[in-house]
A and B are shown apart, each in its own frame.
Chain A
Amino acid sequence: MNMDNSKKAWLYLLPSLILLGAFLLYPLLDVFVYSLEEGFNFASQTYLGVGGYNYLYVLHDPYFLQALKNTFILVLITVPVSTCLALLISVALSSVGALRQLYQTIYFLPYVTNTLAVGLVFMVLFQKTEYTDGMVNLLIQWFGGEGVDFINGPYWAKMFVLCFYTVWVVMPFKILVLTSALASVNQDYYRAARVDGTSRLRTFTRITLPMIAPMLVYLVITGFIGAFKAYSDAVALFGTDLNAAGMNTIVGYVYDMLYGDSGGYPSYASAAAMVLFVIVLTITCINLLVSRRQFRG
């Protein structure tokens, strides 16, 4: 009986397993194979040898190292910042009575706006050209600061804009998820806490946070994965030649290696993609382990 059931379950799962295998597992294996083949040529489908050469090349390529550094900075800044900000805004949103719908709509607007369009707006706001210093610089100067070109200027300024932009783009979704998570917490817990004289801070840390913890974990994990795969954001701000701008990301590097001006190296691209895969896998596993321990403790 039990055996039958599990066989049946596999049968029902078969279509999706086949699709997953064809479009996910097979390409992954294929990329892995490519990454080990030295000097693979698409046109002739030939290669020179097998080994770790591609990895060695990629790991010594300054452009790749730059992309790796950029990606890590982006991830480490934007994931915590966007999650915390989204949590703050959601808590504030769920405690306002009037106009809540309006605020919710406003905060959700960036989500339905095209990211490239948003990028263009950011560029206009931050860029310094011969004709104008740009809105942000005018503001900085008005406060008595010194203007800086955020788009073509120093590295930290460009990184700041990229992080700002990324946080801006990922926040609406997080706010949406967290406001619904907060709304689904049974009000009786808060009533019980009030009768027992629980301070607001303690109510938040001991009741609200544990109640929405599963959603927070979900947001952090998907946030990490999403930020590691960032590419279009950088393009929207700094154009397609990211290596020249020093703002490339790992996915951008992979793309450049395949199709960019200096492209045509599927083996290097595959090796870089494998490196990214291993990084994301490791981080996700760590995330899951930590969150599981949190739940137990």
Chain B
Amino acid sequence: MDIKLQNLTKRFPGRRRGGSGEVTAVSDLSLQIQDGTLVGLLGPSGCGKTTTLNMICGLEKPTSGRIFFGEEDVTDLPPEVRGVGMVFQNYALYPHLTVLQNILFPLENLKGAARPSREEMRRRAGEAAALVQIESLRDRRPRELSGGQQQRVAIARALVKMPRVLLLDEPLSNLDARLRLQTREEICKIQKKTGITTIFVTHDQEEAMSISDCIAVMKEGVLMQQGHPQRVYDDPSNLFVARFLGTPPINVFEAEIRGQVLYLLGQPVMGAPGVPDQPVWVGVRPEGFTPKEDGPVTCDLDRVEALGRDVSIVCTHPACAAGTVRAIVSSAREINTDCSKMRFGLQPDKVFLFHRDSGARIPFCPVS
């Protein structure tokens, strides 16, 4: 099922009289989601991800804008006829029902011709349970399950109605690190197997990057960028997106363009043909640094961390906004830890320029 969000806006009325203190949770969001894909909705806490999901499933009514499932305008439809399955952040499993009863619950709500026979219900519940591998837990109650198991039950309950769209709100945030890794693979696998268009919300960029076919990055209710994870990483449209994606995060320096040359603390770094003179932010991915005897960027070496396959070089640079600079280089390379200074060259495709005020990307073809 293709999903199209058209200029979605959601404003919550302010607590105070007269509507002051109104909150705009989602602002003019337009997004196209292809049938059968897994989309990661990504952004910091409070940026409107849950609100967006609630509007898609029908729990919240948009202030303005339209939502389409395929050709069908579902904006004014109540949730139960939209054909969505939702997994809530805290799972919202009914504590007094067993696992099986929880999974059966949505089916038992069906009325008339849509209502399957008792055996059919049990068969479908069994199928859903098998899909998430919880058949052996069917007679337990939610409080007798671990976080990961509860998560699977919640997914089974959302899938049992065979929804057109599956929505997951921070499905991994309540799990420990190891389980998170395993569960995200499983969500990806289940999605591929069922082919259901899936939107999953997360504030963890690594999670979103690793399993999504497409990510959408939001900030304060506004969609910043959308696309294939690698494309967005390699071609961020603004400083926020560049900063939000990637671990370790991108290194940002205060810099200046003078006479079509990029200067870092008065030191020419690389040519920037066609870019007018102005103060800029320059972002360099950690893997964009190459240790080089006569490189243009000189840092004070702090320490070197071995990560196994790679080595992380931590140093400081006076123009760096965050204070510390992190460079990742392959561990095959010899690093002289005795010197206090470290000189780097920059890989042009890992360097991005942004407007100093707006943070918008400044396109340029670097010349070393």
A186 on the B face (CB < 8 A): yes
CB contacts (< 8 Å) of B81 on chain A: these are: 197
How many of chain B's residues touch chain A, expressed as a range? 20 to 34
Instruction: Tell whether, in the assembled complex, residue B84 and residue A188 are in contact, meaning their CB atoms are under 8 Å apart.
Output: no
Q: How far is the CA of A248 from the CA of B335 in the complex (A)?
A: 98
Q: How far is the CA of A207 from the CA of B96 in the complex (A)?
A: 8
Instruction: Tell whether, in the assembled complex, residue B109 and residue A188 are in contact, meaning their CB atoms are under 8 Å apart.
Output: no
Q: How far is the CA of A295 from the CA of B141 in the complex (A)?
A: 12
A7 on the B face (CB < 8 A): no
Give residues of chain B (92-116) contacting chain A, Cβ–Cβ below 8 Å. Answer: 92, 94, 96, 105-106, 109-110
Q: How far is the CA of A177 from the CA of B88 in the complex (A)?
A: 28
- Which residue of B is nearest A192, CB measured? B92
CB contacts (< 8 Å) of B92 on chain A: these are: 186, 188-189, 191-192
Given contacts A188-B88, A191-B59, A191-B88, contact A196 B94 (CB under 8 A): no
- Which residue of B is nearest A211, CB measured? B96
CB contacts (< 8 Å) of B90 on chain A: these are: 186, 188
Instruction: Tell whether, in the assembled complex, residue B86 and residue A198 are in contact, meaning their CB atoms are under 8 Å apart.
Output: no
Q: How far is the CA of A210 from the CA of B141 in the complex (A)?
A: 14
**Minimum C-beta distance from A4 to chain B (A):** 31
Give residues of chain A (184-236) contacting chain B, Cβ–Cβ below 8 Å. Answer: 186, 188-189, 191-192, 194-199, 202, 206-207, 210-211
B203 on the A face (CB < 8 A): no
CB contacts (< 8 Å) of B88 on chain A: these are: 188, 191-192
Q: How far is the CA of A197 from the CA of B58 in the complex (A)?
A: 11
Instruction: Tell whether, in the assembled complex, residue A197 and residue B94 are in contact, meaning their CB atoms are under 8 Å apart.
Output: no
CB contacts (< 8 Å) of A207 on chain B: these are: 94
B79 on the A face (CB < 8 A): yes
- Which residue of A is nearest B105, CB measured? A196
Instruction: Tell whether, in the assembled complex, residue A194 and residue B96 are in contact, meaning their CB atoms are under 8 Å apart.
Output: no
Instruction: Tell whether, in the assembled complex, residue B86 and residue A192 are in contact, meaning their CB atoms are under 8 Å apart.
Output: yes
Given contacts A188-B88, A202-B109, contact A195 B58 (CB under 8 A): yes
CB contacts (< 8 Å) of B96 on chain A: these are: 210-211, 295
B285 on the A face (CB < 8 A): no
Instruction: Tell whether, in the assembled complex, residue B58 and residue A199 are in contact, meaning their CB atoms are under 8 Å apart.
Output: no
Give residues of chain A (274-289) contacting chain B, Cβ–Cβ below 8 Å. Answer: none
Chain B 59-70: CB-based contact to A (< 8 A → 1; otherwise 0): 100000000000
**Minimum C-beta distance from A185 to chain B (A):** 11
CB contacts (< 8 Å) of B157 on chain A: these are: 196
Chain A 149-162: CB-based contact to B (< 8 A → 1; otherwise 0): 00000000000000
Q: How far is the CA of A264 from the CA of B58 in the complex (A)?
A: 72
Instruction: Tell whether, in the assembled complex, residue B109 and residue A195 are in contact, meaning their CB atoms are under 8 Å apart.
Output: no
Instruction: Tell whether, in the assembled complex, residue A195 and residue B94 are in contact, meaning their CB atoms are under 8 Å apart.
Output: no
Partner pick for B109 among A198, A210, A211, A295, CB 8 A cutoff: A198
**Minimum C-beta distance from A8 to chain B (A):** 30
CB contacts (< 8 Å) of A210 on chain B: these are: 94, 96
Q: How far is the CA of A79 from the CA of B172 in the complex (A)?
A: 47
Given contacts A188-B88, A188-B90, A189-B92, contact A196 B59 (CB under 8 A): no
B152 on the A face (CB < 8 A): no
Q: How far is the CA of A186 from the CA of B95 in the complex (A)?
A: 11
Q: How far is the CA of A194 from the CA of B94 in the complex (A)?
A: 13
Partner pick for B59 among A195, A197, A198, A211, CB 8 A cutoff: A195
- Which residue of A is nearest B88, CB measured? A188
B10 on the A face (CB < 8 A): no
Q: How far is the CA of A29 from the CA of B106 in the complex (A)?
A: 56
**Minimum C-beta distance from A212 to chain B (A):** 11
B57 on the A face (CB < 8 A): yes
CB contacts (< 8 Å) of A192 on chain B: these are: 86, 88, 92
- Which residue of B is nearest A207, CB measured? B94
Given contacts A186-B92, A207-B94, A210-B96, contact A197 B86 (CB under 8 A): no
Give residues of chain B (290-344) contacting chain A, Cβ–Cβ below 8 Å. Answer: none
Q: How far is the CA of A195 from the CA of B85 in the complex (A)?
A: 7
**Minimum C-beta distance from B110 to chain A (A):** 7
Q: How far is the CA of A186 from the CA of B90 in the complex (A)?
A: 10
Q: How far is the CA of A277 from the CA of B297 in the complex (A)?
A: 90
Give residues of chain A (164-191) contacting chain B, Cβ–Cβ below 8 Å. Answer: 186, 188-189, 191
Q: What are 22 A-B residue pairs whose CB atoms fall within 8 Å in the complex?
A: A186-B90, A188-B88, A188-B89, A188-B90, A191-B59, A191-B86, A191-B88, A192-B86, A194-B78, A195-B57, A195-B80, A195-B85, A196-B105, A196-B106, A197-B80, A197-B110, A198-B80, A199-B109, A202-B109, A206-B105, A210-B96, A295-B96
Q: Given A188-B88, A189-B92, A191-B92, list of 7 further CB < 8 A pairs?
A: A186-B90, A191-B59, A191-B88, A195-B58, A195-B59, A196-B80, A202-B109
